[in-house]
Amino acid sequence: MRVRVLILPKKGLLDPEGRAVKEMLLDEGFPVKDVKVGKVVELELERETDIKTMVEKYLINPLVEEYIVE
Partner 1 sequence: MKFAVCVFPGSNCDYDTYYVIRDLLGQEVSFVDYTTKDLKGFDCVVIPGGFSFGDYLRAGVLASKTPLGKAIVDFAQKGGLVLGICNGFQILTELKLLPGALLKNENMRFVCKDVYLRVENNRIAFTKRFERGEVIRMPIAHGEGRYYLPEEELRKIEENGQVVLRYCDEDGNITPQANPNGSVNNIAGVCNKEGNVFGLMPHPERACEDILGYRDGIILWHSLLA
Binding site for partner 1 (CB under 8 A): 13-14, 16-17, 20, 41, 58-59, 61, 63-64
Identity of the residue, 53 or 61, whose beta carbon is nearer to partner 1 in the bound complex: 61
5 in Cβ contact with 38 (< 8 Å): no
Q: Residue 55 CB: number of other CB atoms within 10 A?
A: 20
Measured from the CB of residue 33, what is the shortest distance to partner 1 in angstroms? 21
Identity of the residue, 15 or 31, whose beta carbon is nearer to partner 1 in the bound complex: 15
Identity of the residue, 31 or 63, whose beta carbon is nearer to partner 1 in the bound complex: 63
